[in-house]
């Protein structure tokens, strides 16, 4: 595991293309108000787990709104917000005639599909050839149209953007780039529901927080909220695959960096380009950026499954990184189990 200390901690990196990006939201009240109107919304548990050296608390997102991951709070929240803005008394048909399109390496697409289905819209999900067919079937079961295009996530994202322009569809990406900030900013805001639950569920703040990252949306939103509530006390470490260290390399080079490399078994984290909103926030809020190998991510799964916490290399990446840190038994560590096991 490689760890890079963050030289921008506390002040951020707000130059060049990042200057136009908004800071991550900390308006958890807006999220609570909207989710309170959703019958599927419910808190997920915070579990204390032994056997990992330090005192470990795991936020278990595997049951979030019946969709199997924290991503249920993202795209579906954006779509619910759009439905609420129509002023329709019955929001279930508020978005009829509207189509949302995105690329997905996994659970983001499921959140788009579910949100569109609930509020009467259509969903079109672009998948690369790397995404397994069983996941494509899960999307179709939610009513989405699935289109295969591209050898990797980045290529399928280009195809989705082109389709949005050609068909006048709404592009709903979980990443952000110049001139595309409003939708992903709101999407990240949805993740505050999870972070706000954590700060109520923990009796006292953790000493260390390990947040896994792909484009960085979850990590950026959660870190902003934890700093908002807990201040500078916790050590926040962002965890990425060593084959997709987009955030770490961006911090190292003091600018957004597109990385390249082999495909990682941490498929939902295998994103080579960082979200600008997430990078801006994490440059201010994270203490360090760590990368782990595929083997390190895989090694922790058996121990978690034995404790009834079966997940994937992506979902358990934060816990995997804990094993690479030399922490005392008194350390209070918070990790997020971000998705259920596959299949």
Structure confidence by residue, pLDDT tens digits, 270-308: 888 999 999 999 999 999 999 999 999 999 999 999 999
- With helix as H, strand as E and coil as C, how does the chain read? CEEEECCCCCCCCCCHHHHHCCCCCCCHHHHHHHHCCCCCCCCCCEEEECCCCCEEEEEECCCHHHCCEHHHHCHHHHHHHHHHHCCCCCHHHCCCCCEEEEECCCHHHHHHHHHHHHCCCEEEEEECCCCCHHHHHHHHHCCCEEEECCCCHHHHHHHHHHHHHHHCCEECCCCCECCECHHHHHHHHHCHHHHHHHHHHCCCCCCEEEEECCCCHHHHHHHHHHHHHHCCCCEEEEEEECCCCHHHHHHHHCCCCCCCCCCCCCHHHCCCCCCHHHHHHHHHHCCEEEEECHHHHHHCHHHHHHCCCCCCCCCCHHHHHHCCCCCCCCCEEEEEECECCCC
Mean pLDDT (the chain) is 91
- Closest by CA position to 206, among listed 184, 242, 190, 230: 230
**Residues 6 or more apart whose Cβ sits within 8 Å of residue 166:** none
* Residue 1, both tokens: 């595991």
> Which of the four pLDDT bands, split at 50, 70 and 90, describes residue 172?
very high
* pLDDT recorded at residue 154: 82
Q: pTM (2 decimals)?
A: 0.91
Structure confidence by residue, pLDDT tens digits, 66-89: 665 566 678 888 988 898 899 888
- With helix as H, strand as E and coil as C, how does 58-106 read? EEECCCHHHCCEHHHHCHHHHHHHHHHHCCCCCHHHCCCCCEEEEECCC
Euclidean distance between CA atoms 159 and 151, whole angstroms: 11
Q: Taking the CA atoms of 82, 87, 91 and 96 in sequence, report the sign of the dihedral they define.
A: negative
Structure confidence by residue, pLDDT tens digits, 319-334: 999 999 989 999 999 9
Angle between the 217-230 and 276-285 helix axes, to the nearest 10 degrees?
40
Euclidean distance between CA atoms 175 and 184, whole angstroms: 6
* pLDDT recorded at residue 87: 86
Contact (CB, 8 A) for 198 and 191: no
Structure confidence by residue, pLDDT tens digits, 21-77: 999 999 998 888 887 766 566 789 999 999 998 999 999 988 876 665 566 678 888
């Amino acid at each position: 595991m490689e760890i890079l200390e963050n030289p921008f901690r506390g002040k951020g990196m707000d130059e060049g293309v990042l200057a136009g990006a908004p800071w991550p939201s900390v308006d958890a009240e807006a999220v609570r108000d909207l989710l309170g109107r959703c019958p599927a919304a419910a808190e997920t548990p915070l579990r204390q787990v032994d056997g990992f050296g330090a005192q470990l608390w795991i936020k278990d997102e595997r049951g979030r709104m019946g969709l199997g991951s924290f991503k249920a709070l993202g795209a579906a929240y954006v779509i619910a917000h759009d439905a609420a803005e129509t002023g329709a008394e019955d929001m279930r048909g508020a978005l009829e005639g509207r189509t949302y399109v995105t690329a997905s390496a996994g659970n983001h697409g499921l959140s788009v599909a579910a949100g569109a289905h609930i509020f009467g819209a259509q969903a079109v999900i672009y998948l690369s050839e790397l995404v397994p067919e069983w996941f494509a079937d899960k999307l179709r079961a939610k009513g989405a149209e699935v289109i295969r295009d591209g050898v990797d996530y980045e290529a399928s994202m280009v195809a989705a953007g082109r389709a949005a322009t050609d068909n006048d569809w709404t592009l709903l990406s979980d990443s952000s780039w110049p001139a595309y900030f409003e939708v992903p900013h709101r999407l990240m805001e949805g993740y505050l529901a999870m972070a706000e639950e954590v700060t109520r569920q923990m009796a006292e703040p953790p000493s260390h927080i390990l947040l896994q990252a792909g484009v960085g949306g979850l990590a950026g939103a959660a870190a902003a909220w934890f700093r908002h509530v807990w201040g500078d006390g916790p050590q926040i470490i962002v965890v990425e695959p060593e084959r997709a260290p987009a955030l770490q390399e961006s911090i190292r080079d003091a600018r957004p960096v597109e990385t390249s490399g082999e495909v990682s078994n941490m498929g939902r984290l295998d994103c080579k380009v960082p979200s600008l909103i997430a990078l801006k926030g994490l440059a201010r809020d994270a203490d360090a950026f760590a990368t782990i190998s595929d083997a390190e991510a895989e090694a922790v799964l058996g121990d978690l499954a034995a404790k009834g916490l079966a997940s994937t290399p992506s979902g358990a990446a934060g816990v995997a990184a804990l094993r690479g840190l030399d922490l005392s038994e008194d350390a209070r560590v918070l990790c997020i189990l971000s998705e259920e096991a596959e299949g």
